A and B are shown apart, each in its own frame.
Chain A
Amino acid sequence: MMIRSASVMSNILLVAWNGVRYLSRPMETIDFNRHPSSYLHWKLAVDGPIARLVMDVQEEKPWRPGYPLKLNSYDLGVDMELADSIQRLRFEQPQVRCLVVTSTRDKIFCAGANIYMLQSSAHPFKVNFCKYTNETRLGLEEFARESGVRTLAALNGTASGGGYELAIACDEIHLIDDGSSAVSFPETPLLAVLPGTGGLTRLVDKRKIRRDIADVFCTVAEGFRGSKALKTGLVDAVHSRSRFESKVQERAAQIAAQAPVTRPGPGITLDPIHAKVDGDTLRWEHVTLQIDAKSRVATLTVRAPTGAEPIDGAALQARGCKAWAIQCFRELDDALLQLRFGFDQVGVVLLKTEGDAAKVAAVDTMLDQHAADWLVKETRLLIGRALRRLDLTGRSLFALIEPGSCFAGTLFELALAADRSYMLNDPARPVYLQLTAMNGGALRMSHCMTRLECRFLGAPEKAKQAAASREPIDAEQAEELGLVTFAPDEIDWDDEVRVAIEERAAMSPDALTGMEASLRFAGPESMETKIFGRLSAWQNWIFTRPNSTGDEGALSLYGRPERPVFDWRRT
């Protein structure tokens, strides 16, 4: 008995000690900065209006050790470079009008996400990895749609799983017809999971493949080759091996010649974004992320510009990536990624702003009035992507609107993105919200609605009224107009807010993630919301089921000598 209780004691001590260790571990950041000059896995070559992005994954350079990146398979590190290249093409290479995505490997375009990486990853990482890769591909589609750069996937070899998902995110797909190269989604038959990067949705929603044909395609591990892939609409063109390169080049040149010049340039250079670690806080120039590991609450603060900001496209061009509108939202984007990948224990994120609302409104005026300028447009798109990344972050978001804050225009979108908002109602220290033209339609959510329209789905006139308002709005009005959730007075504020946070942080993180995701996107679905919805619901569910990730599951056993054993009950 004695021995037994002693061992129980020591276990408890061990747990406690590990906990303390976790809390006191120095904070680390993940470097999402990449640059074409030091890409490991891609080559970006720009020749006039045509850019070629060539995949050549270095097998022995995975993002973290433990799995070789065979057959041009990818992991987070590979995708960071892809995301970086698209971002740089947007800002640095405006003359580009056609992007060709291809590979240098004989007979292989890309084998998709690395299975051994997925096998050896914890569930939260898997989910965040999939989210990130989805955001990258949606970014690629936005690049084509909004920036007018037509994208062409040149499949010089087999594109399986995530490889075909990358292709299907491009505008057109050209496949080599060599008798062996195929496009395929082998996830279901081979791994008992789903193509996790929007593949299924894009098959039927984007490429409009007939559902029964898609059903066949998704259950044949080896996929479809050449003429069959063409006939079923999975690819747009097939070319013989000897003519493949010239046909692709011909088509790219044709696209580039036909596309109107919408981005006259010149481009600006994107410098790396770095946070300084300061105790429990990550500090960027305009953004801080403070982590309270013990209470599992983070505070994300975005600050208004302090000096003069560009007032038109030319000035923005001159200021380049240091302009607040660009820098601040690149920092916000980085902060969200740090939060997602580095701090999975954090359940509640408090969204705050600091600074002069008038300065934010002035930037918004520039963004609105010069929207036709290509760089202004790219900047608006960048802000839109960062805010959508916030919408899609699986943490409870509470906006705290306090004295000294600047929830104006673009920054008010943070409060609109929050699951709920608290605005201090203290006549002695009045706080104001302010809307600008940027709240009216420039910054849409994944389902193409503005955050105001989504908020007032049942009362569109309220959304219109709010969008038209330009006067500062105090707490009482804001509550009245439905622009904030609560407006406690100075006596109740501290307790109300504290209790709300503690209560929230105590609920099941899984249920909260699902609940929040369900409530955030009222209104019609878009392909984008379908993709994320199905990723969250189906793929993540399947990922945690024994049939894929149990000891005898297909994903667990992939590459191992044993065959999977399924639980045959349908759910």
Chain B
Amino acid sequence: MSDVDRFASIPNNVDLHSDKRLQRALESWQPGYLEWWREMGPAMAQDKDAYLRTAISVDTDGWAHFDYVKMPEYRWGIFLADPTPDRKIHFGDHVGKPVFNEVPGEYRNILRRMIVTQADTEPASVEQQRKLAFTAPSLLDMRNLFQVNVEEGRHLWAMVYLLHAHFGKDGREEADELLRRRSGDPDKPRILGAFNQPCNDWVSFFAFTMFTDRDGKYQLASLAESGFDPLARTCRFMLTEEAHHLSVGETGIMRIVRRTGELMKQHPGVDVRTLGAVDLPTLQRVINFWYSYSLDLFGGEISSNAADFFASSLKGRYQEERRAEHTALDQMKIVPVVDGGRLTNKEVPLRNALNEVLRDDYVEDCERALRRWNHELEKIGVEARLTLPSRRFHRHQGEYSRHAFDSQGELITAEQFEANRAKWLPSEADMEFLRSIMVPVHQVGKIANWLSAPVRGVNGQAFDFEFVRLG
């Protein structure tokens, strides 16, 4: 196991003190990061004690340390999963060769692009979620929000470490740019579309952590396969933290479903909106919105970039090791495309369809969560069900982005889409309604009316624990 330097100005397990150049570079990036955090991190409670976990090592039992901390004093550190001795590249054109510990020259640019694109999402989501604490439905939820935020900050650190350690001057410039872009800023937007969408209410927050963070999981999981070992190790450790974000989202929506379902059961025939809760059609529209934007994040259905990333052994498939075959050559995948105004199936070489392969895994995972929510509705005794729209619906990237589809994935005209927009996607009125019920609940052990309390707290603490000391 690698040594952990917990007390260095930048906690790390990468032996930073022995690389003075790198240490200085990161130390000179640190003030800019803290400034960014103060400006763009959570807009309230920065000076309050929050009960947060901090990564302090990478071994399975001891990595997370829970304690009260003021967020600006959070110990953002650099942790890579321990190296696997003699690890070999296990997919792509370099299969069987030793992993790259340095950046191969010919892949420098695409690797940098991959890392920057991933890195950009980390601060972006913090920016998107900046004002949510004001309307937190409970202290536990506020604490979860802060947990997600500080860890996205740590993920940014992890990626910036890679940029500084392996990409020279270009890498340092990119690291600075990561602090300059701003989510939703028309002039300096974040790189990816979903990360420029506003996320100003908690229903959107839960949908975001459910669907958009889940894209992150699949991207990190494929990068954890990378033949560039520092990237693989970084991503492997990030995944352990990311799991919590996904569960915040999945259980968050579950808690909405439970609360709404119960109200529907208790007040048959009454619009739950009048009871101050989220009606299922509105929840469905929020799901449609974030799910479709998150699907975009996987990239084009037919993509030469995807083929290049795999061929160069830099980005694998989800759980590549569990697959029988690791070249992805001489195989085809059927991808529906629009041709001559109709949807037709196109055979695409597998490597070029790897974005779609990863999207398949993601969609399956989302369907699993859907089943759980619907099971809850069934248990409560409510007829209505939630669904996932077609993956062609409301897309802004890839094969389907230049056409309009209904939620079932049938090709329709742009006019038909617009005519149904309010049925499928949250309208301004929906958002206004959601904002109207986002009443802050900042008392210990209390929960907002539209949400059911979680089954358990965090780290063995009960729900009525003082997760954030606002006092």
Q: Which residues of A are interface residues toward B (Cβ below 8 A)? A: 59-60, 177-180, 189, 220-222, 240-243, 558-563
Are A561 and B109 in contact (CB-based, < 8 A)? no
Residue of B nearest to A176 (CB): B187
> What is the total of A-B residue contacts with beta carbons within 8 Å?
54
Taking the complex as formed, is B49 at the interface, i.e. its CB lies under 8 A from any CB of chain A? Answer: no
B residues contacting the other copy or chain, number (CB 8 A) = 27
Are B187 and A240 in contact (CB-based, < 8 A)? yes
Are A241 and B352 in contact (CB-based, < 8 A)? no
Residue of B nearest to A186 (CB): B109
Are A222 and B113 in contact (CB-based, < 8 A)? yes
Q: List 29 A-B contacts (CB under 8 A).
A: A60-B340, A60-B341, A177-B187, A178-B187, A178-B188, A179-B180, A179-B181, A179-B188, A179-B191, A180-B189, A220-B109, A221-B109, A240-B187, A240-B188, A241-B186, A242-B186, A243-B187, A559-B304, A559-B352, A560-B352, A561-B329, A561-B350, A561-B351, A561-B352, A562-B351, A563-B93, A563-B308, A563-B311, A563-B312
Report the Cα distance A179→B187, complex, angstroms. Answer: 8
Query: Distance in Å from the Cβ of A405 to the closest Cβ of chain B?
Result: 52
Q: B341 to chain A: which residues have CB within 8 Å?
A: 60
Query: A180-B189, A561-B311 are known contacts; what are 18 more A-B pairs with Cβ within 8 Å?
Result: A60-B339, A178-B189, A179-B177, A179-B191, A222-B109, A240-B186, A240-B188, A241-B189, A242-B186, A242-B187, A558-B304, A560-B307, A560-B349, A560-B352, A561-B351, A562-B311, A562-B351, A563-B93
Q: B446 to chain A: which residues have CB within 8 Å?
A: none
Taking the complex as formed, is B372 at the interface, i.e. its CB lies under 8 A from any CB of chain A? Answer: no
Are B329 and A59 in contact (CB-based, < 8 A)? no
Query: Distance in Å from the Cβ of A41 to the closest Cβ of chain B?
Result: 14
Report the Cα distance A559→B302, complex, angstroms. Answer: 9
Q: Which residues of B are interface residues toward A (Cβ below 8 A)? A: 93, 109-110, 113, 177, 180-181, 186-189, 191, 304, 307-308, 311-312, 328-329, 339-341, 349-352, 402
Query: Distance in Å from the Cβ of B174 to the closest Cβ of chain A?
Result: 11
Report the Cα distance A558→B304, complex, angstroms. Answer: 7
Q: A221 to chain B: which residues have CB within 8 Å?
A: 109-110
Q: A240 to chain B: which residues have CB within 8 Å?
A: 186-188
Select one of B109, B189, B349 contacting A179, CB under 8 A. Answer: B189
Query: Distance in Å from the Cβ of B137 to the closest Cβ of chain A?
Result: 34
Q: B110 to chain A: which residues have CB within 8 Å?
A: 221
Report the Cα distance A220→B110, complex, angstroms. Answer: 10
Residue of A nearest to B354 (CB): A561
Query: Distance in Å from the Cβ of A180 to the closest Cβ of chain B?
Result: 6
Q: B328 to chain A: which residues have CB within 8 Å?
A: 561
Query: Distance in Å from the Cβ of A104 to the closest Cβ of chain B?
Result: 13
Report the Cα distance A242→B189, complex, angstroms. Answer: 11
Residue of B nearest to A189 (CB): B109
Report the Cα distance A519→B340, complex, angstroms. Answer: 49
Residue of B nearest to A240 (CB): B187
* A-B pairs with lowest CB-CB distance, top 4: A561-B351, A240-B187, A561-B349, A559-B304
Q: B109 to chain A: which residues have CB within 8 Å?
A: 189, 220-222
Are B350 and A241 in contact (CB-based, < 8 A)? no
Query: Distance in Å from the Cβ of B316 to the closest Cβ of chain A?
Result: 14
Query: Distance in Å from the Cβ of A251 to the closest Cβ of chain B?
Result: 18
Query: Distance in Å from the Cβ of A105 to the closest Cβ of chain B?
Result: 10
Q: B180 to chain A: which residues have CB within 8 Å?
A: 179
Report the Cα distance A179→B188, complex, angstroms. Answer: 6
Query: Distance in Å from the Cβ of A564 to the closest Cβ of chain B?
Result: 10
Residue of B311, B312, B329, B341 ringed by the most chain A CB atoms within 10 A:
B311
Q: B349 to chain A: which residues have CB within 8 Å?
A: 560-561
Query: Distance in Å from the Cβ of B110 to the closest Cβ of chain A?
Result: 8
Q: A220 to chain B: which residues have CB within 8 Å?
A: 109
Report the Cα distance A144→B372, complex, angstroms. Answer: 66
Residue of B nearest to A115 (CB): B304
